Amino acid sequence: MKNGNQITAEALKQQGIEYVFGIMGHPVIDLALSMQNAGLQYLGFRNEQAACYAAQAYGYLTRKPAVVLCVSGPGLLHVIGGMANAQINCWPLIVIGGSCAQDHEGIGGFQEWPQVESSKPYCKYAVRPPSAILIPLHVEKAVRSSTYGRPGVAYLDLPATILNQSVDEENIYKVAQCPPPPLIFPDYRLIKQAATLLMQAKKPLLIIGKGAAYGRAENEVRSLVYSTKIPFLPMPMAKGVVPDTDERCISSARTYVLQQSDVILLLGARLNWMLHFGKPPRFQPDVKMIQIDLCPEELHNSVSSAIAIQSDISTAIESLVTILKEHKWSITENNPWWKDLLAKSNKNKTIIQKISMDTSVPLNYYAVFKHIQDVLPSDCIICSEGANTMDIGKMILLNNKPRHRLDAATFGTMGVGLGFGIAAALYCKNYAPTKRVLCIEGDSAFGFSGMEIETMFRYKLPIIIIIVNNNGIYSGFDKETFRQIQASGESTQVTPPNCLTSETHYEKMLEMFGRKGYFCTTVQDIQQALKICLQITDSPSLLNIMINPQADRKEQKFTWLTESKL
């Protein structure tokens, strides 16, 4: 005889699941223990959302879903924010929620809530198995749904009555392990059309999306760039698919290159707010898009593409490179388009370099990131969240390997950073034990999940947390101004909504665990502390870097969020 807890744990193990992230409690206490008994790795968190962020980031890094385990009612509702983030970002994730005993439903059971119905808007698949014997069937389908096609979320609802139900082993549904997702190959006729359009372009551009990173297409995309010399613009989480240090990376001239390009090859990136919907004034009115995406529903979304190809990025680009090589097409150093881009890029880099070299106290963002970059190993995984912290950081902190940048991404979610960092540290522990993980946080963003520091200590994860502290959301106030504001009247009426307590010593959180954090105000402080933290391999470390509360990014030609011109 086996009960639902044992059946669930063993079914997950059979499907190749490795990690479970969550918070145990009624009715999943025995399920958490059964998971460990079955050989699954279980990490307990301090908040369900952070657990969910960690699970989905691990899924992104490995292409295999991890599991979030949560209790009924409020536990699941706390997870839903993370479910939405995974679904919007197209990352594989399985959520298992314990729920009210079925014989208590409708009469006010403990934490009773319509959990399947609540989860459906945020999932590809949401179901309650009708009995314990069918749990393996639905576990397999959850794995398949979360990884096949456009990846996403699957939710399994397990009432206490099913978890505690005992059944004969011979009656348990037998199911094979879900095979890896099939590769999708492109229509070769469309690939030939795409090649022709590129070769006819006067101002071609390659935009690399995180779909190319998730799809493990870095070898093919690098071959395209290296053989054709096409300028490329990586989306934030596609940094490193082709190294940021490659001369054809044109991120420093982003606005200009988007405005001027006449043909754009779009690889696993969506024409949403992050690319200004593909519309003027950020793009030419007559720009021709070549769109390659795994998901057919994404094709022609927002604007009508000249050529739209459903395919895995790797298979499509492999075919495209073959044709372009046959025609010996490339963009030479003397090409007017490339010379124009290079001049614009170098001009912008000079401006950034000048700002970065201003090390007067209080520091600005650019100086902080420049002097962090100077110390970092070249293969760090960087997790970043915050407003200016994330946006300015992605310009200066470089990635030369794919899937080495995790940030707030498409959904713009705050609070993801420490969960992402935990996932990245586990990934490094399993696949690259000498690699380091940095969580670079705005002080507001850090507040969403700061207690996950305890989780990091409990599991001995050597994550370096860097808080770029401007005393506020977007901007804050210096200590004296903050004191004057607080003294001027009722704090809830006079304290600006963007304001946080000035000069909060977040680094002292490490003293709870007998360790030392670092309070930094100069670039010398930053570099000395970071060098020490890079030597710590058995626990997290933390730098709290004070910057000018009114520091901002350099002046932009457009606001960061371009309105849709419908």
Give the tens place of pLDDT for each residue, 492-506: 899 999 999 999 999
Pick the last residue of a domain from 297, 322, 344: 344
Q: What is the mean pLDDT of residues 331-353?
A: 96
Residue 519 lies in a domain: yes
| pLDDT of residue 566 exceeding 80 | no
Residue 441 lies in a domain: yes
* Of 89, 118, 109, 88, nearest in space to 97 by CA: 118
Cβ(246)–Cβ(222) under 8 Å?
Answer: no
Q: How far are the Cα atoms of 230, 233, 287, 333, 559 from residue 202, in angstroms, in the given order?
A: 11, 17, 11, 14, 28
Q: Do 47 and 106 sit in the same domain of this protein?
A: yes
Residues in the chain: 566
Q: Which of 90-99, 226-235, 343-352, 552-561 has the lowest mean pLDDT?
A: 552-561
Predicted TM-score (pTM) of this structure:
0.96
Q: Do 273 and 374 sit in the same domain of this protein?
A: no
Structure tokens at 516: 């030392």
Residue 260 lies in a domain: yes
Q: What is the mean pLDDT of residues 413-418?
A: 95
Other CB atoms within a 10 A radius of the CB of residue 169 amount to: 10
> What domain count does the chain have?
3
Its domain, for residue 215, covers 188-344
The CA-based dihedral angle spanning residues 277, 283, 286, 288, taken in that order and rounded to the nearest 10 degrees: -70
Q: Which of 85-94, 160-169, 445-454, 491-500 has the lowest mean pLDDT?
A: 491-500
pLDDT one-digit tens code per residue, 443-461:
999 999 999 999 999 999 9
Q: What is the pLDDT of residue 25?
A: 96
- In a 13 Å sphere around the CA of 244, the CA atoms on its Cβ side amount to 23
| pLDDT of residue 562 exceeding 60 | no
User: Distance between CA 37 and CA 503 in Å, rounded?
Assistant: 46
Residue 351 lies in a domain: no
Q: What is the pLDDT of residue 178?
A: 98
* Of 309, 283, 305, 313, nearest in space to 296 by CA: 309
Q: How far are the Cα atoms of 274, 283, 442, 561, 562 from residue 277, in angstroms, in the given order?
A: 7, 9, 27, 10, 8
Q: Do 420 and 455 sit in the same domain of this protein?
A: yes
The model's confidence at residue 565, banded by pLDDT at 50, 70 and 90, is very low
Q: Do 387 and 534 sit in the same domain of this protein?
A: yes
Q: What is the mean pLDDT of residues 399-416?
A: 94
Query: If you average pLDDT over every residue of the chain, what do you get?
Result: 95
Q: What is the pLDDT of residue 560?
A: 52
Name residue, tokens 């403990």. 110
Q: Do 399 and 512 sit in the same domain of this protein?
A: yes
Other CB atoms within a 10 A radius of the CB of residue 286 amount to: 8
| pLDDT of residue 558 exceeding 60 | no
pLDDT one-digit tens code per residue, 244-269:
999 999 999 999 999 999 999 999 99
Q: What is the mean pLDDT of residues 97-112?
A: 93
Q: Do 363 and 338 sit in the same domain of this protein?
A: no
Residue 352 lies in a domain: no
The model's confidence at residue 72, banded by pLDDT at 50, 70 and 90, is very high
